């Protein structure tokens, strides 16, 4: 054997030996003598070190559009980089400082801005990076998430909502640039739950972000029902009725779609023996409002402490948003549907009983949607009044979001019949103005932010227009089964409403709860 052949054989043998050792011995001591192949060994050791969590969302050509389409954020930053680029590696810790502020369940200001990155060194992303004219690394682009979806960018374009971020080499510079664009005052030192929505009660536009909290509350409620095995033979009917209400009137298109898909398969998913035994079966695989919900954080309903607001707030907003979308013929059925749902599936016992008592006190059927909207508003204020006293005595209230009689005068001056000088005197409400306010607040204002991301129904209180729009406008994105469920649910809900009204005409008024 020649010396060259022998040396070649020796190098190859040592190479494979070192890789075998590295793969079979992940716990090799760092202090062990470094031999040939030590680079592979050290790489193996590095992999076992605790890696820092990345907060910026990694995107590629397969998920770029879907992630940016579904994000609740009003703004997005996309970093185009190459993993082999030293400058990009050095910039990553700076970018992560900003991403940590806005991304993830532990973010200081969640859902305001989505920070993402795309590795242009991967072949799968070549065309994507070309579409956005990436000529150097790192390249940072800023704009509304919807503008990135199926979009492109050319630096020569004069009128484009996507902009290049220049001079952002440090976290401070990038955050300063963002603050200038948003007229905000975010800081690297901000602590969790220190800032956010609803501080200014007179800003009606803040409710727009609650559409994402409604999605969160809907998905969370469904998860609670499954986790606590609450679907029984005796509760199944009330859950189906509530799902039908969501399919037709939920403010979020994807929640309407997801609920419709679930409703189509509901009977097959819940065989009688599974219901009686409390088993969840395949139903646990259904994501009622989309694959990224629940997200783990709240926006409009976010409290200043972890244990305040959140789910209960989101559920109230959901109920109000449903109430303003039903027609006169559905109002009584919607009322009993919501009352039954809370009675069967809300696991806070004291709250459930209190709501049950309020439902039971209604002796006359709701023939007008206006009456149902105002009843739910009054019920919510009764709950707030009760909790005001309890939380004040136990010091469990949220200091930044105390319970109040709602809406406050600065948010709806016309709702108050007279100027309220003495706080101890009862409020003289102008109920017509309160009704107008509720329709606008939980209707048009609530979905305003989402107009660019989903096809919304213009007429919020007309059942037939809402159902027809849901079936036709979304025909390209809703599966056949889901579209069928929407149609069936709409017809069933309307038919039951008509039946209820005819039934009520032939008998004396009675209590709604049996």
Give the torsion through C-alpha atoms of 453, 455, 459, 461, to 10 deg.
-80
Whether 29 has a pLDDT exceeding 90, the answer reads no
Residue 258: partners with Cβ closer than 8 Å, 6 or more residues away: 286, 287, 288, 289, 290
CATH class of 57-182: alpha beta
Decide: 405 and 363 in contact? Cβ < 8 Å.
Answer: no
Out of 88, 129, 339, 412, which one is annotated catalytic?
A: 88
Residue 140: partners with Cβ closer than 8 Å, 6 or more residues away: 77, 78, 79, 80, 164, 165, 168, 174
Q: Confidence band (pLDDT; 50, 70, 90) for 2?
A: low
Classify domain 206-268+284-437 at the CATH topology level: 1.20.120
339 in active site? no
3-state secondary structure of 416: strand
Q: Which residue has the higher pLDDT, 340 or 481?
A: 340
Write the pLDDT tens digit of every residue in 146-188: 999 998 999 888 788 999 998 888 999 999 999 999 888 888 8
Write the pLDDT tens digit of every residue in 240-286: 999 999 999 999 988 999 999 888 888 777 664 555 444 555 777 78
pLDDT at 205: 64
In this prediction, residues 37-56 reach a mean pLDDT of 50
Whether 4 has a pLDDT exceeding 60, the answer reads no
Q: Which residue has the higher pLDDT, 71 or 201?
A: 71
* Residue in this structure with the two tokens 């030996």, named with its chain if needed: 17
Count of residues for the chain?
Answer: 514
Decide: 196 and 184 in contact? Cβ < 8 Å.
Answer: no
Max mean pLDDT among 29-43, 221-235, 247-261 falls in 247-261
Give the integer Cα–Cα distance in Å for 488 and 431: 35
Write the pLDDT tens digit of every residue in 453-506: 443 333 333 333 343 333 333 332 334 444 454 445 555 555 554 444 454 444
Task: From 278, 276, 150, 300, select the one nearest 215 (Cα to Cα).
Answer: 300
For the chain, give every residue range classified as CATH 1.20.120.310. 206-268+284-437
- End-to-end, the C-alpha distance of the chain in Å comes to 97
For the chain, give every residue range classified as CATH 3.40.30.10. 57-182
pLDDT at 187: 86
88 in active site? yes
In this prediction, residues 140-151 reach a mean pLDDT of 93
Write the pLDDT tens digit of every residue in 238-253: 999 999 999 999 999 8
Whether 365 has a pLDDT exceeding 90, the answer reads yes
pLDDT at 502: 52
pLDDT at 431: 94
Kind and range of the H or E run holding 300: none
Whether 396 has a pLDDT exceeding 50, the answer reads yes
Give the integer Cα–Cα distance in Å for 337 and 238: 7
pLDDT at 128: 95
Write the pLDDT tens digit of every residue in 178-227: 999 988 888 888 765 443 444 444 456 678 778 889 999 999 999 888 88
């Amino acid at each position: 054997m020649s010396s060259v052949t022998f040396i070649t054989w020796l190098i190859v043998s040592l190479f494979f030996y070192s890789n075998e050792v590295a793969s079979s011995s992940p716990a090799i001591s760092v202090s062990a003598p470094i031999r040939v192949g030590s680079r592979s060994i050290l790489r193996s050791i590095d992999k076992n070190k605790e890696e820092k969590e990345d907060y910026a969302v990694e995107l590629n050509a397969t998920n770029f559009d879907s992630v940016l389409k579904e994000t609740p954020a009003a703004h997005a930053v996309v970093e185009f980089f190459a993993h082999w680029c030293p400058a990009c590696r050095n910039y990553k810790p700076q970018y992560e400082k900003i991403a940590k502020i806005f991304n993830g369940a532990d973010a200081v200001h969640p859902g305001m801005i989505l920070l993402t990155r795309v590795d242009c060194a991967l072949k799968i992303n070549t065309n994507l990076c070309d579409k956005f004219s990436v000529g150097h690394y790192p390249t940072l682009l800023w704009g509304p998430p919807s503008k990135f979806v199926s979009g492109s960018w050319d630096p020569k374009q004069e009128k484009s909502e996507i902009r290049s971020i220049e001079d952002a080499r440090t976290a401070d510079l990038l955050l300063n640039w963002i603050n200038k664009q948003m007229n905000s005052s975010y800081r690297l030192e901000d602590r969790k739950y220190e800032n956010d929505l609803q501080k200014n009660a007179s800003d009606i536009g803040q409710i727009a972000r609650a559409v994402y909290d409604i999605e969160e509350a809907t998905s969370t409620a469904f998860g609670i029902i499954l986790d606590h095995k609450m679907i029984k033979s005796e509760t199944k009917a009330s859950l189906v009725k509530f799902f039908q209400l969501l399919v037709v009137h939920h403010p979020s298109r994807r929640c309407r779609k997801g609920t419709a898909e679930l409703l189509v398969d509901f009977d097959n998913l819940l065989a009688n023996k599974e219901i009686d035994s409390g088993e969840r079966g395949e139903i646990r695989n259904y994501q009622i409002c989309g694959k990224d919900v629940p997200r783990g954080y709240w926006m409009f309903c976010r409290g200043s402490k972890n244990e305040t607001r959140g789910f209960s707030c989101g559920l109230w907003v959901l109920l109000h948003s449903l109430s303003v979308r039903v027609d006169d013929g559905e109002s009584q059925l919607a009322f009993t549907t919501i009352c039954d749902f809370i009675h069967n599936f809300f696991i806070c016992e004291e709250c459930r009983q209190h709501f049950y008592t309020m439902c039971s006190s209604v002796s006359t059927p709701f023939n007008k949607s206006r009456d149902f909207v105002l009843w739910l508003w009054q019920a919510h204020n009764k709950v707030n009044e009760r909790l005001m006293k309890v939380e004040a005595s136990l010091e469990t209230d949220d200091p930044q979001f105390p319970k109040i009689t709602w809406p406050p005068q600065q948010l709806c001056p016309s709702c108050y019949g007279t100027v309220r000088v003495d706080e101890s005197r009862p409020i003289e409400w102008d109920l017509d103005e309160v009704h107008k306010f509720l329709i606008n607040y939980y209707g048009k204002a609530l979905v305003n932010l989402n107009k660019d991301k989903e096809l919304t129904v213009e007429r919020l209180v007309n059942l037939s227009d809402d159902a027809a729009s849901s079936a036709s406008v979304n025909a390209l994105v809703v599966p056949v089964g889901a579209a069928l469920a929407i149609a069936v649910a709409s017809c069933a809900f309307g038919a039951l409403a008509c039946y209820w009204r005819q039934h009520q005409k032939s008998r004396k008024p009675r209590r709604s709860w049996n």
